Structure 1
Amino acid sequence: MEGLIMNQTQTKAATSLTTKQAKFAQELFTAYSTRTPLNMADWEGTVQDEATAYLVQERLTQLKEEKVAAYKVSLTSAETQKMFASTSPLYGAQVASRLRQSPTEVSLSELMEPLVEVELEFRAVQELKSTDSLTELMEKTTVAAGLEVPDSRFKDWFPTLSKYLVMSDAAVGGLVLYGTEKPTTDVFKTPEELAQVHCELRCNDRKLKEGVSAEVLDNPLNSLHWLVTKLEQQGHPLTVGQLVSTGTFVLPPKLTAGRWSAKFDHGLGNVDVTVTK
């Protein structure tokens, strides 16, 4: 059944895009593969609505020829929505090779213009549905501390890249780094507690940012529920085993060489990464 759904999705993406939009997806893949950035001005206006942007993203994902292992949710705060002229979140599919467990190492040479965000990561251990309550989502997931590395296939992209180009570019997906996973209900007793997670982001032992999970649609579980509902509406629901990076607590700084650490409370621990040139 999963293969049938994927084939239907591939056919839809291939037949619904214009010649220029299909070329856009190919150019995004080339930029992804060669780390040669595109110019925004060359592609502005190519995609002018959400449905088409997600079709371009689907085609880009197909070209990667890897399993979709995760999704990232972006624009989960009023501040970031305003920056990208949006009134709702958006998502990007993340392939398996882009997920890494902490502690780990990352080379800037494998990225383009990366930023760094602190997030909560949820993994579906049972089927998640749009009808699930926040408590039910807790019962069906694991949770882990997360450090996401947004990265774009466009030159000088942050914060000027338009919303539809962001969506087409897999929500500017780069890497998703995650810590120790635990059953969500072992860490949190109520959904409300998930709005109270504090994180401190440090580089070379210097504090750069700190934030709280309430910045993520008031509660990261709301972000997870939004994604589950969105994917269900689009006909390719989240599957058991997939990870969801639910949105940043802080406005992201640039990722630079050094020792990075995101330190979470509530017993979630740290995400540690050494970034080299």
Structure 2
Amino acid sequence: MTLLSGMIDEAAALLAAADANAAPIGQLTLRYPGMDVADAYAIQQVNLARRLSDGRSLAGHKIGLTSEPMQTLLGVDEPDFGYILDDMVLPAGSAVACTRLCAPRVEPEVAFLLGKPLCGPGVTVGDVRAATDAVAVALEIVDSRITDWRLTLCDTVADNASSGAVVIGDWVAYTDDIDLSAARASLWLNGIEIDSGLGSAVLGHPAVAVAWLANALAPFGTEILAGQFVMSGSFTAAAFVHAGDAASAAISGLGTVSLTFT
């Protein structure tokens, strides 16, 4: 870490205000030129601790930057992660007010529901398979509190991996006949399929991403608990949404889930 603790707290407060007011701020990495990834996760953890102290609970975790194009864009060779609190989980079919968000986009993903905890290091794909009770199609709203999505890795990590909200479809028992690497996701906007992709786009298999997360959380003293879910990463590019849009995600074998934006 290169930033002083006061700078960490200041950056966290700036992001918290940007989130509360849906008013994006400039790049933190320009404000704090020495900022590194450890600083960024420290900023993220400050805001997580603040939200938990305000009475929120940790419902799940998200993994970002799982696709090769996104990693190339930000010049990294591994994903990043963030947290999902209980008030970030929306009922299926919800109407979402765009005024509560800065610059929302949507992505189709597979969510993993854990029946047993995962605690790194050393977690394998087999461990993920054994710990997972069910999987579901999910639509993640990603949002950036950094103006115009002008991001470096450190900016998005500090900003909770650009998390916004999630809507999760019906849980499906994770049985051996479900091949998530071959599953096809479709992203629909206003009745038109605008993108599609396979689960293999997520680090080769979405369970690989979940194993990576469990191991990446270990240095923070964090395990993924039974009853929590993991958003494993997008099958497609993220699409911008605006007031009046209807978005849905479908994944073969898992069903469909949708949201509208007002």
**8 Å Cα contact 2:8-2:42 kept in structure 1:** no
* Deviation for aligned residue 1:51: 1.7
Would you say 1:243 and 2:229 are equivalent positions? yes
| Structure 1 residue corresponding to 2:86, chosen from 90, 96, 119 | 96
Name 1:182's counterpart in structure 2. Answer: 172
TM-score (norm 2): 0.91
Corresponding residue of 2:146: 154
Give CA deviations for 1:60-108 in whole Å, capped at 9, x if unaligned. Answer: 1122232121111011011000111111100011211001232322121
Structure 1 position 136, deviation (Å)? 3.5
Question: Structure 1 length normalisation: TM-score?
Answer: 0.86
122-131 vs 165-174, greater mean Cα deviation: 122-131
Name the structure 2 match of 1:197: 183
Tell me which amino acid in the other structure corresponds to 1:48: M
- Structure 1: tracts of 5 or more residues without a match: 1-12
Q: Deviations over 1:31-76 (max 9, x none)?
A: 1111111012784435622222111100011222321211110110
Aligned to 2:130: 139
Deviates more, 1:127-136 or 1:235-244: 127-136
SS at match of 2:233: coil
Equivalent residue number for residue 230 of structure 1: 216
Q: Which amino acid aligns with 1:169?
A: D
**Structure 2 matches for 1:1-277, cutoff 5 A?**
17-40=4-27, 43-46=30-33, 48-64=35-51, 65=54, 66-130=56-120, 131-141=122-132, 142-157=134-149, 160-185=150-175, 188-189=176-177, 193-256=179-242, 257-266=244-253, 268-276=254-262
User: Counterpart of 1:189 in structure 2: which amino acid?
Assistant: D
Judge conservation of contact 2:61–2:230 (CA < 8 Å) in 1. Answer: yes
Change (3 A) 1:17 1:72: farther
Question: Residues 43 and 94 (structure 1 numbering): CA distance in 2 closer, same or farther, change over 3 Å?
Answer: farther
Write the letter of the residue equivalent to 1:258. Answer: D
Alignment CA distance shift 1:23-1:46 (3 Å): farther
Structure 1 residues 47 and 219: CA distance shift in structure 2, 3 A: farther
Matched to 2:127, the amino acid is E
Residues 172-207 of structure 1, C-alpha deviations (whole Å, 9 max, x = no match): 11011110012212xx436xx210110111112111
What is residue 7 of structure 1 aligned with on the other side?
A: none
Note the C-alpha offset of 1:128: 1.6
Sort the Cα spacing of 1:100 and 1:41 in 2 relative to 1 into closer, same or farther, 3 A: closer
Write the letter of the residue equivalent to 1:108.
Answer: C
Deviation (angstroms), 1:122: 0.6
After superposition, the C-alpha distances for 1:219-259 in whole angstroms (9 at most, x for unaligned) are: 00000000011112321111111111111111111012322
Q: What amino acid does structure 2 have at the position aligned with 1:121?
A: A
Q: Which runs of 5+ in 2 are unaligned?
A: none
Report the Cα offset of residue 264 of structure 1. 1.3
Structure 1 counterpart of 2:211, one-letter code: H
- Determine what percentage of the aligned residue pairs are the same residue: 26
Residues 71 and 244 in structure 1, CA contact (< 8 A), matched pair in contact too? yes
Q: Distance in 2 between matches of 1:103 and 1:138?
A: 29
